[in-house]
Amino acid sequence: MDLDAVQSPWPIEEVAAVICINMVHISPWEATIGLMHGAGEALVSGGAVYLYGPYRCSDRSLDPSNLAFDQDLRARDVRWGLRDLDSVIQCAANHGLEFERAIDMPANNLSVIFRRI
């Protein structure tokens, strides 16, 4: 299914999970807001949102390769770039999604999991 995350309402009524890989940093912030809004509306209670990609984390320095990647993204489009994980967590919470955990992955990426409350 083609899905524009900003489109509201989403063209689906109910889902058990939403998987989003490598979008949050290569799109305007409005796409992340739309993703969380749509997921908050479409997910069943207890349903999961799974995000994968690089993030800025307040508890650690940005790896040099991610810093270079962030600079490259912002040079291509000023609306793009690695997002602050705390901001993504707050955005999710604004749409009824509770942060469950973040898991370190290869190449300085994270798996980030939320649940619909």
What tokens appear for 48 in the block?
Answer: 């999961």
| Per-residue pLDDT reduced to its tens digit, 41-94 | 999 999 999 999 999 999 999 999 999 999 999 999 999 999 999 999 999 999
Q: The domain 22-116 is classified under which CATH number: 3.30.70.660, 3.40.50.150, 1.10.10.10, 1.10.540.10? A: 3.40.50.150
Q: How far is CA 49 from the centre of its chain?
A: 9
pTM above 0.75, yes or no: yes
Going along the chain, which residue ranges are E strands?
A: 15-21, 43-53, 55-56, 83-84, 97-105, 109-116
Domain definitions of the chain by residue range? 22-116
Q: CA-CA distance, 36 to 17, in Å (whole number)?
A: 12
Rounded to the nearest 5 percent, the helix, strand and coil shares of the chain are 35, 35, 35
Label residue 21 by pLDDT band (50, 70, 90): very high
